[in-house]
Structure 1
Amino acid sequence: MNHAFGFDVGSKVIGVAVGNPLTAAASALAAVPVREGEPDWAQLDALRAEWQPATLVVGLPLTLDGAEQPASRLARRFAERLRHRYGLPVVLVDERHSSQEAARRFAHARAAGLRKRRDAARIDATAAAVILERWLTDPGAAAPPAA
């Protein structure tokens, strides 16, 4: 299988999702803790070994008008570290509104009885799934390189 991983990068947690390019569907996989600026690489290594993704998709947080912001640099730095660590293609995707979509999906799942309040930590992984689905359905959605 030719899986892809999606990442929603935060300063405390990195959401991880896995997706299938054939169906363009993605699922929340994990919320990986970040401590002192370092993600839990052991957990990321284990996920990579288990799923063997072919492509890594990192959400690039931009302002509403499309400008870079401090969080954009954090995501770009993480993407570069992934590229060096795993030697896989890494794509940056505009993640505007992905958190709102993830919150909407979570609220819908709670209303349907599929999620509990304690599952809220998975919202970062759900945001990663939204980002990944965006790229799976439109590979041209890749963000431009840094100016």
Structure 2
Amino acid sequence: MSCVLGFDVGSKLIGVAVGNRITQSARALATIAMREGQPDWPALDRLHREWLPQALVVGLPLTLDGAEQPASKLARRFADGLRQRYGTAPVLVDERHSSHEAAERFAGARAAGLRRRRDGAQIDAEAAAVILERWLATAELDSPLSSSAPNAELP
């Protein structure tokens, strides 16, 4: 199976996307609530069981000059939780401008009549799809997942 789950981690919501390494495509899947700074692990467990991902990709918030910022710590902590829970080391991907691109996609879909109103939760899931698409575009199908993209990885 070539399924990949991507995550856009925020202080209130985690956007989730599902992608395929063979087709290099991704789509927004869901949003998961953060409760008191902790992910809703039972909801994430359900998604993990349903999709059985081969890889996990987490967006890493960086400043415009590429430095880490306070939100980077939250993303790294979430990625470490995924690694501990599922035994798979997530790949961290630069997520600069992903929320902006997701908002533009959402606005385009709304203008085309495909969406009725602005929904922040859907934008978070769409941002996860943007992050996942970036990784899929650089991943090599025959490479080991832990080194298949020139993006930041967990230390």
Tell me the TM-score normalised to structure 2 length: 0.90
Alignment correspondent of 1:14: 14
The size of the alignment, in residue pairs, is 146
**In 1: Cα distance, 2:108 partner to 2:118 partner:** 15
CA displacement at 1:141 relative to structure 2: 4.0
Code of the aligned partner of 2:49: A
Q: SS of the counterpart of 2:93? A: strand
Preserved CA contact (<8 Å) 1:134 1:141: no
Code of the aligned partner of 1:138: T
- Which sections of structure 2, spanning at least 5 residues, go unmatched? 140-148
**In 1: Cα distance, 2:84 partner to 2:102 partner:** 29
Preserved CA contact (<8 Å) 2:89 2:154: no
**In 2: Cα distance, 1:141 partner to 1:95 partner:** 14
The answer to whether the aligner puts 1:142 opposite 2:141 as a matched pair is no
Alignment correspondent of 1:64: 64
Cα distance per residue 1:54-87 (max 9 Å; x no partner): 1000000000000010000110110011000001
**In 2: Cα distance, 1:89 partner to 1:19 partner:** 17
Alignment correspondent of 1:28: 28
The runs of at least 4 aligned residues of structure 1 exceeding 4 Å deviation read none
**In 2: Cα distance, 1:37 partner to 1:23 partner:** 34
Superposition RMSD in Å = 1.3
Equivalent runs, 1:93-112 vs 2, <5 Å: 93-112=93-112
CA displacement at 1:41 relative to structure 2: 0.7
**In 2: Cα distance, 1:121 partner to 1:134 partner:** 20
Q: SS of the counterpart of 1:117? A: coil
Preserved CA contact (<8 Å) 1:7 1:59: yes
CA displacement at 1:2 relative to structure 2: 1.6
CA displacement at 1:145 relative to structure 2: 5.3
Alignment correspondent of 1:2: 2
- Which sections of structure 1, spanning at least 5 residues, go unmatched? none
Code of the aligned partner of 2:41: W
CA displacement at 1:88 relative to structure 2: 1.4
Preserved CA contact (<8 Å) 2:60 2:95: yes
Alignment correspondent of 2:142: none
